[in-house]
Amino acid sequence: MLDANAVDYALLALYFVFVLGIGYLARRAVSTSLDFFLSGRALPAWVTGLAFISANLGAIEIIGMSANGAEYGMPTMHYFWIGAVPAMLFLGVVMMPFYYGSKVRSVPEFMLRRFGRAAHLVNGISFAVAQVLIAGVNLYLLASIVNALLGWPLWLSVLLAAAIVLSYTALGGLSAAIYNEVLQFFVIVAALLPLTIIGLVKVGGVQGLIERVSAGPGGAEQLSAWPGNELTGFDNSVLSVVGLVFGLGFVLSFGYWTTNFVEVQRAMASKSMSAAQRTPIIGAFPKMFIPFIVIIPGMIAAVLIPELAAFKQAGGSGGGGVDYNDAILLLMRDLLPNGILGIALAGLLASFMAGMAANLSSFNTVFTYDIWQSYVVRDRADGYYLSMGRWVTVGATLAAVGTAFIAAGYSNLMDYLQQLFSFFNAPLFATFILGMFWKRMTPHAGWAGLVLGTVSAVVVFGLSETGVLDLPGQGASFVGAGAAFVVDIVVSVVVSLVTRPKPEAELVGLVYGLTPRASLRASTSGEDAGWYRRPGLLAGIALVLIIALNIIFG
């Protein structure tokens, strides 16, 4: 248990007052289903940009990446510099004009217009399943904090954590989630920055950390981002780099950031196309620096916390009842004084609630619009779907309570999460990118590629789990993602060649070559005027910075 006192609890209580207050205030602005699911498409770029990155600052970033930092070291930076920022820039510059310009309400609805009902239903169901599973990860970790703080049983902690997130998400919909995500972004930084600084001082500064990591398991290789052999599971450095660039940097990354409605939904809530394009680009700037307050603390914990150091020395099987997922909590326990501990706890709770709320808000949109309204109960008044959205949020929360216990079985949650992304995101990206740039791709190819691509990733996972393929680390997810992408492309091409495509007139606004360039260009006047609001220029600056970081820390 963490040694929290009255000051820490008071800070937590104050934070929850703000969170629930935002949910209550947002509820007053919700009068239609578009308000509830997409904030009425009226939010400025700086709000959606911070929400875009905060929605991703859940379990994946805080616990998962610090666990990866403790286990693998600097190669974990690839999840940000190779596995996130380039795809975020591509989403802003290339993909958002299609999403926002078509005025679709979700990514599966884009699939409906491009490929028809079969692909729409497959994508809607797979996305819904994925969000419930990932929400379970955030819920499990949120419950772990409550458990560590109060000593309550995990099941009770899970229920309490679920009730907190459900309360404001069901009240205010996407607006409540987004404005809370902006608040949570600053709370998270305020929590993790002091922890990183104090940890570095305690370990003897940067040089002290270098010396301790070099002398421990993994050695000096954990201090360089490239080639990342231990992370990928490949002994050959060339194969490791190919796995990182193609498996993580292209398939998994582009699959997640460009087609995942959890992220895209924030951009679609913007007030203009220019703001929608700038949303992921604005998010890219903090994203490239977040590793320094997430991964570095994990590395510090692995050399500074005795029980975690023993766990790592024993190859991830040591005693003491800890694992890599405990890195941040153990560091907080040993380093932070009361008061700062309360802020740090609020930051952790903020991160997990941001992640779970993002999963819930995107799930209720897709389930209500793309499954319930499209295939179960059609042509009802808008108020019915608004009410349905709130009930769907309740149902998704209850389902996440169940999936939270699946997450509890993994010592490194990034292994679990990357596996899920290889199942759901990699084949979807293949279908999207081929369908967006190849007008000949047919509706039958859309659903067939998705299904067989997903099956191929599941097969790779099964072969790895049974020992047929020797893929330690997160190699199974990288290989599975690559297999899913290639199989999806091959199946889509073959099926397209033997089936009938849609008429070109129906593909305007959905296929790059058939869409007038003027409709893909954002406004540069009024609220969108100024060089600092030009998506292409901002993306170029971010790209130069990310290349520099790879060179400096490579």
Considering the four listed CATH numbers 1.20.120.80, 3.50.50.60, 1.20.1730.10, 3.40.109.10, the one that applies to the domain covering 6-553 is 1.20.1730.10
Residue 483 pLDDT exceeds 60: yes
pLDDT at 345: 73
- From residue 494, alpha-carbon distances to 362, 459, 490, 491 in Å are 33, 21, 6, 5
Least confident of 46-60, 170-184, 258-272, 506-520: 170-184
**209 vs 26, which has greater pLDDT?**
209
Q: Say how many C-beta atoms besides its own lie within 10 A of residue 456's C-beta.
A: 25
- Range with top average pLDDT, 142-151, 270-279, 306-315: 270-279
3-state secondary structure 47-70: HHHHHHHHCCCCCHHHHHHHHHHH
> Quick one: how many helices (H) and strands (E) in the chain?
25, 0
CA 120/CA 110 separation, integer angstroms: 8
Residue range 249-264, pLDDT digits in tens: 777 778 778 877 777 8
CA 68/CA 75 separation, integer angstroms: 9
CA 130/CA 426 separation, integer angstroms: 13
**131 vs 278, which has greater pLDDT?**
278
- Range with top average pLDDT, 8-17, 113-122, 222-231: 113-122
pLDDT at 234: 64
The CA-CA-CA angle for residues 193, 194, 198, to 5°, reads 125
Q: Are the C-beta atoms of 293 and 196 separated by less than 8 Å?
A: yes
List, in order, residues 6 or more apart from 490 with CB less than 8 Å away: none
Q: Considering the chain, what percentage of its residues have pLDDT values greater than 90?
A: 8
Residue range 19-56, pLDDT digits in tens: 777 777 777 666 676 666 666 566 788 888 888 887 77
Buried b (16+ CB within 10 A) or exposed e, 241-265: bbbbebbbbbbbbbbbbbbbbbbbb
Quick check: helix, strand or coil at residue 190?
A: helix
CA 87/CA 382 separation, integer angstroms: 35
Q: Are the C-beta atoms of 412 and 323 separated by less than 8 Å?
A: yes
Residue 472 pLDDT exceeds 70: no
pLDDT at 493: 95
Pick from 397, 405, 340, 322: which is nearest to 364 by CA? 397
Q: Per-residue confidence at 448, pLDDT binned at 50, 70, 90?
A: very high
If you average pLDDT over residues 547-553, what whole number do you get?
84
Domain ranges of the chain: 6-553
Structure tokens at 299: 């590395």
CA 191/CA 124 separation, integer angstroms: 36
Quick check: helix, strand or coil at residue 29?
A: coil
pLDDT at 29: 64
Residue given tokens 């890219």 in the structure block: 284
Residue 79: is it exposed, middle or buried by C-beta count within 10 angstroms (0-12/13-18/19+)?
Answer: buried
**538 vs 364, which has greater pLDDT?**
538
CA 420/CA 432 separation, integer angstroms: 18
If you average pLDDT over residues 9-17, what whole number do you get?
79
CA 139/CA 6 separation, integer angstroms: 25
Residue range 108-151, pLDDT digits in tens: 888 888 898 988 888 888 888 888 888 777 777 777 767 766 67
First vs last Cα of the chain: how many Å apart?
A: 38
